[in-house]
A and B are shown apart, each in its own frame.
Chain A
Amino acid sequence: MTRFTRREFLVTSGTGLGLLAAGCAPTIKGDFSPKTGRRVVVIGGGWGGATAAKYVRLADPSIEVILLEPNRRFVSCPFSNLVLSGVRTIDSLTFGYRGLRNHGVRVLHEAATAIEPDARRVRVGEGYLQYDRLIVSPGVEFQTEQVDGLGQAGDEVLHAWKAGPQTVMLADRLRAMPDGGVFVLTVPPVAYRCPPGPYERVCQVAWYLKNNKPKSKLIVLDANQNIVSKTALFRAAWQAYPNLEYRASNKVVKVDPGARQVTTEFGDAVKYDVVNLIPPQRAGTIAVQADLVSADKRWCEVNHVTYESVKHQNVHVIGDSTIGLPVPKSGNIANAMGKISALAVVHLLNGKEPLALAPGNTCYSWVNDREAIAVVNAYRIDGGKVVQIEQKLTPGQSAQWGRHAVGWATSIWNDVLG
C-alpha cells in the first residue's frame, strides 16, 4: 500500500497521463483516448468514485481505469464541521490524487458532461471516452429552486455542505459575528447527504459560541419532525449548550439576504446575523441528465449487489445519489459501495458471477472539541437486497469515541485515496 500524504497536491503531477495530462478542453476532441483494452470510466472522485477507481485496479490491474474529477483536491466532508469551531484546519482535510495515480488510475481533472449508455461513452467537452463499464459517483446537487431567493443569493447565503471554500467562508463569518449575534442554521428535509451532519454542525457552532461569544444565540430551523440521526445522543449533548434553540418542523422556504432573514413554510420570519442554509438535495446533475434517476427525478435506483443502474445497463451508480438501500448517505457507505461495485465490475468483465457483499457504516459525530458519539450499521444481502443486521450506538459521548473517530478518519482516507 502506498502511504499517502496530506497536501501532496502541492507536488506537480501528471506523469503517465499522456494526452490526458494536458487537461484542457481544446485538446479534447473526438475519441481523445482510444480504448486499447478493457476500460472502466469512473465519474466523480469523491468517497465513492475514488475508492471504486482504486479497487478496480487492485482487483484486476489489466483493466484500464480513467477517473473524471474536475477538482484537483479532495476535501473531506467528514470532520469539516470541526473547521467551523476552529478545532481543525481545512488543510488537514485536504488531499491530492497521487495515491490513485500510483495504483495506475488515470486521473483526468475534467467534468463529464453527458453519458451515452447506448454508445457506451462519456462526453467530456467536445470529445468522448469509450468504456466497457461506467461507475457514476456524482454526489449530491442542491435544489436551490426549493427555497425562494436562494438561487439569486450566491455566496451571500452559504451551504458549506460540500467541504471546501464555503466551509472556510462560513468559519470566517462565524468568527466575524459580533457577540450577541444570531446564527441561524437550517436543516433540509430527508433524504440529504450525511443525516447526522447538521446536528454535529449545531454542536460545533454552539461550542464555539459558548466559548467565544457567550451572548450569542444559535437558532436551528429543522424541516424534519425531530433530529434525524443519533437523536437521544444529540439531545443529551445539547444540554451543554444553553445558547441553542432548536425548532423542529420548521421548513425554511425563503431567504432574503438584504433583510437578513429566512421565512418558514408557516410564514414565521427569523432574523439572522449569519445564516447557514443547507438546501434540499438530489443526485448530482449528470445522473439526472443521463436519466439515471427514478420517477421523482431525485435519486438513482440500483441493483443491490452490483450497483448497476435499473435504468441503463453497464452503468453503475454509487454513493449519496443512490436510493432504495436501507443505508445512510455517508462517506463510509460510499467507500463501501466503491469497493463492492469495483469488485462486481471486475467480476462481470471477467465473466464471473458477482459476489453478494453488503456495505457497512461507521459514523462518528463530534459533540464538542474532543468528545464524539457514533452509530454503526451492519448489513447482509438477503434475496438480492441489502438488509440491516444490526444498528448500535455508543452509550454516550466520550473522548474515547473521539480518539476512535480520528483513527477511523486516518484509516478510511487512506482506503479512499492511498
Chain B
Amino acid sequence: MRTTLAVFVVLAVAPGAAAGPLDAPGAAKAVVCSACHGEGGQSPSNVMPILAGMPSWYLKKAVDDYAAGRRLSPEMEPYAKQVLQLGVDEIAAYFAGQTRRPPDVRSDPAAVERGRAAAGQCVGCHTASGKGDPAKGIPDITGQPPGYLQNQMLLFKTDRRSPGDESLKALKAFFKTLPDEQIADLAGFYSSLR
C-alpha cells in the first residue's frame, strides 16, 4: 500500500503524468481505451466522448447498449464486448474516478450564447445545470466535446441511436422539430458548461 501511495504522489506531480497509477483497479484494463478516448479518458478529439469523470452507471449503460446493438456503432460494438469480458465495473469505476478537464476542442462563443438562449427546452429533463438526474436515468450532458454532443443529437433526430426505444420517443420527436443549426448551438452551449 505504501508503494502504491508513493507512486501516486509522484505521478500526480510529475509533468505529463496520468491521473493515477496504472495498477489501480480498472486502470490497466482501460489502457486499450486510451487509443481513442485519451489517457485517463480525457479525449482530445472532437469526436470521441470524454470518459474521465463520467458517472459509472452511465458508462455501464453505454457499454451494454453498444454491446447489444441498441446503440449502433461498428467501432464501439466490438470494444464494448471486450470491456464486458474484461470487467465493466472496474473500468467504469476507474473512469468515474478521473478528474475531467474541459474539452480541448472549444466552442464558438457566439454558438454558445445562441445555445444558451435555446437551452430552456432541455432543462425539464437535464436540469438547469445540465447535470441530469441519475435517479431517472437522465445523463449529464455537460463538458463533452461539441462534435460528440452534436452527433448524438443528430443520431436521435434521425432515429439512428437506440432505434425503437419507446422511452426515447418523446426526445426524438423533440429533436425532429429542431433545425440542425440549433442542434449545433446546443452542443456548443452544453460543451461549455462545467
Contact = CB atoms under 8 A, between A and B. Distances in A.
A380 interface: yes
Interface string B33-45: 0111111101111
A243 interface: no
Given A2-B15, A2-B16, A359 B32 contact: yes
A390 B47 contact: no
A383 B132 CA distance: 43
B9 to A, nearest CB: 10
B31 A360 contact: no
Given A343-B22, A407-B47, A99 B79 contact: no
B28 A360 contact: no
Interface stretch (A168-176, A206-214, A332-340): A332-340
Interface in B89-103: none
Nearest to B85: A380
Interface string B45-69: 1111000000000000000000000
A103 B17 CA distance: 7
Contacts of B139: none
A289 interface: no
A407 B46 contact: yes
A1 B32 CA distance: 16
A390 B17 contact: no
A411 B37 contact: yes
A102 B16 contact: yes
Contacts of A29: none
A411 B31 contact: no
The winner among B18, B39, B74, B85 for most chain A CB atoms within 10 A is B74
B116 interface: no
Contact of A411 (B11, B16, B23, B45): B45
A3 B104 contact: yes
B78 to A, nearest CB: 3
B102 to A, nearest CB: 12
Interface in A367-383: 374, 376-380
A358 interface: yes
Interface residues of B, number: 41
A406 interface: yes
A103 B14 CA distance: 8
Given A403-B147, A414-B44, A332 B35 contact: yes
A414 B31 contact: no
B81 A389 contact: yes
A339 B23 contact: no
B75 A404 contact: yes
Given A59-B23, A389-B85, A418-B39, A99 B16 contact: yes
Contact of A59 (B21, B35, B81, B104): B21
Contacts of A395: 74
Interface in B1-27: 7, 10-11, 14-18, 21-23
18 contacts: A1-B16, A58-B17, A58-B22, A58-B39, A62-B10, A104-B14, A339-B32, A339-B34, A346-B23, A359-B32, A377-B78, A394-B74, A403-B147, A407-B45, A407-B46, A410-B46, A411-B38, A415-B34
Interface of B: 7, 10-11, 14-18, 21-23, 28-29, 31-32, 34-40, 42-48, 74-75, 77-79, 81-82, 85-86, 104, 147, 151
Given A411-B43, A412-B36, A414-B44, 15 more contacts: A1-B39, A3-B104, A59-B21, A61-B17, A343-B28, A360-B35, A380-B85, A389-B82, A404-B47, A408-B36, A408-B45, A411-B35, A415-B34, A415-B38, A418-B39
